[in-house]
Structure 1
Amino acid sequence: MQWSVRRPFVPPVALDRLRLRRAALRLAAHGWAVTPGARLSGHRFDCGRPGCPITACHPALESWEDTASTDPAQVRAWWRHEPYSLLLVTGRRFDAIEVPAALGLRVLGAVRLNRRGDARGPVTVTAAGRWSFLVEPGAPLRSELDHRLDVVRHGLGSWIPAAPSRMLEGPARWAVTPEQAQWRLPGAETVQQLMTDALGTVRERQLTVPRQLSTARRGG
C-alpha cells in the first residue's frame, strides 16, 4: 500500500484569510488596534456595504473608529469567513508618517548606516511605492514636511494597510518588521529630522497625491 504525502488542497482565498487573521492576531496581541478593510475584488475593493462608492482600499466597517480592537475573539470573528484587508489604526499606540519610496529608502538607509537605534522602528511598504514609518503618536509634521503633498501623517482618525494585505499594485509588506524593531517606536521628531535631512538628497519627481487621501483624513 502506498501512502500519499500530498497535503490537502487549501483554496488561495482561504490561505489569504488565514494569513491575514494570523497577522492581525499578532499585532493585536501587542496592543496595536486593527480593523478589517475592504477585500480586493478584481480592480476594486469591496466592503460589502450596499451602494458604497469607494473603490480604493478603505475600512470595511462604517463605525471602524469605534470598533477597532485588540481583542483576540473579535479579531478571529472578523477574519473567520472573509479575507478582509488588514488595517492598522493610527493615532492610538502610534502614528505613521507616509512618504514616497525615494525618501523612505534614504531615511531607512540613514538609520542603518548611522546605527541610529533611537530612530529604528517598524516600517511598512506598499507596492505602489509608499513607505510608512511608525512613530510615537501625537507630534505634528515639521513645516518642511507638512507642505508636501507626498508626505502624510496618519494620526487619530486614520489607518494604514499592513502585510499581508493585497493592494491593486501588489501585496503590502514590512521593510522593518515589528519584531526586528523589538516592537519599539522611535520619537516622531527623530524620524522627521532624518526625513528633513534626506530631502536635499532625493531627486524630485512630479508629486502625486497618495490614493488613501481620498478616503482617510490627513492626521493632524
Structure 2
Amino acid sequence: MVLDRSRLRHAALRYAEHGWDVTPGAYLAGDRFDCARPGCPTIGCHPALERWEEAATCDTAKVTHWWRRAPHAVLLPTGRAFDVLEVPAHLGLRVLGAARLHASVLGPGRGQVRGPVAVTPTGRWMFLVRPGDPLRPELDASLDVVRHGAGSWVPAPPSRLPEGPVRWSVSPEETRWRLPDSYAVQGMLVDAVGAASRGAQLPRQTSTLRRAA
C-alpha cells in the first residue's frame, strides 16, 4: 500500500510539474472504488473530491498532501492543458501506426502528429491532443469515439482499475510533453474508422469513463 501510494504520488507530481492539473481519484479497495465520502454510491473510478473541478491543481504542495493521505488514483481533468480522444484498441493501433509513419516521413518538428497515448486495461486508447476542437461530424455519432473536454477527466498511469493498471503506450517524455493538433489526429481516426468498416465488423467498446457534456 505504501509503495503504491509512493508511485502514484510520484506520477501525480510529475504531471503537475509539467503544468497538468491533477485531482485525486477514489482508490481501489477490493472490487470497488473508495473515496472515503460517507454514503457515496459510486463503485467505479471517480473523483475523490465532491468539487473536484475547482480543486484540481498543479500546485505540488497540495498534490503531495493528497497522496500522503491515501493511494488515490491519479485523475487528469480534460479541457485544460489537453483534450483526450478515447477510442477502442483496433482504432488506436491504426492511428498510432499512421502517426509513427507520418513522423518518420516528415521528420522531427515537421507536421508532427504524435503525442502521449495512454491505454486502459480494458483496451481503451486515450490520445492526448491540444484542447478546444470538437469532434468532426464523421466521428461525433460514433459510440466508439469519445472526446473528453471541459468537465471530464481520465485516469492516468499508473492508476489501477479492477482489470489492471493504466499504462502509457507513448509516454509524455517520448514526445517531450508536446501535444498534437486535435484535427490532425481526428483526420487519422476518420481514415482508421473507414478502413475498419471495410474490413471485418468488430464489436463496439463503449467508454468506461465519464463523457464530457
- TM-score, normalised to structure 2, is 0.93
Amino acid at match of 2:128: L
Tell me which residue corresponds to 1:40: 28
Contact 2:80 2:150 in 1 (8 A): yes
Unmatched segments (≥5 aa) in structure 1: 1-12
Alignment match, 2:121: 127
Residue 43 of structure 2 corresponds to residue 55 of structure 1: yes
Deviation at 1:200, TM superposition (A): 2.2
**Equivalent residues in 2 for 1:9-158, closer than 5 Å:** 13-115=1-103, 118-158=112-152
Q: Give yes or no for contact 2:88–2:205 (8 Å, CA) kept in 1.
A: no
Q: Is the CA contact 2:118–2:167 (under 8 Å) kept in the aligned structure 1?
A: yes
Q: 2:174 maps to what in 1?
A: 180
How far apart, CA to CA, are the structure 1 residues paired with 2:120 and 2:193?
21
Q: TM-score, length-normalised on structure 1?
A: 0.90
Structure 1 residue ranges (4+ consecutive) displaced by more than 3 angstroms after TM superposition = none
Whether the aligned pair in 2 keeps the contact of 1:127 and 1:169 (CA below 8 Å) is: yes
Q: Deviations over 1:168-210 (max 9, x none)?
A: 1110000110010111011100000000011122243222421
Distance in 2, Cα, partners of 1:171 & 1:153: 21
CA distance, structure 2, for counterparts of residue 100 and residue 86 of structure 1? 21
Secondary structure of 1:27's match?
helix
CA deviations on 1:128-159 (whole Å, 9 max, x unpaired) are 00001000000000111110112110000011
1:65 CA displacement:
0.2
% identity of equivalent residues = 59
Q: What SS class does the counterpart of residue 92 from structure 1 fall into?
A: coil
Structure having the higher Rg? 1
One-letter identity of the residue aligned with 1:199: V
Per the alignment, in what secondary structure is the counterpart of residue 139 of structure 1? Answer: coil
Q: Distance in 2 between matches of 1:32 and 1:114?
A: 27
Cα distance between partner residues in 1 of 2:188 and 2:24: 32
Residue 204 (structure 2) aligned to one of 194, 203, 207: 207
State whether residues 119 and 125 of structure 2, in contact with CA within 8 Å, keep that contact through their aligned partners in structure 1.
yes
Q: Which secondary structure does the structure 1 equivalent of 2:28 belong to?
A: strand
Q: Which letter does structure 1 place at the counterpart of 2:70? A: E
Q: Distance in 1 between matches of 2:96 and 2:66?
A: 33
- In 2, Cα distance between equivalents of 1:189 and 1:118: 13
Q: How many residues align?
A: 204
SS of corresponding position for 1:180: coil
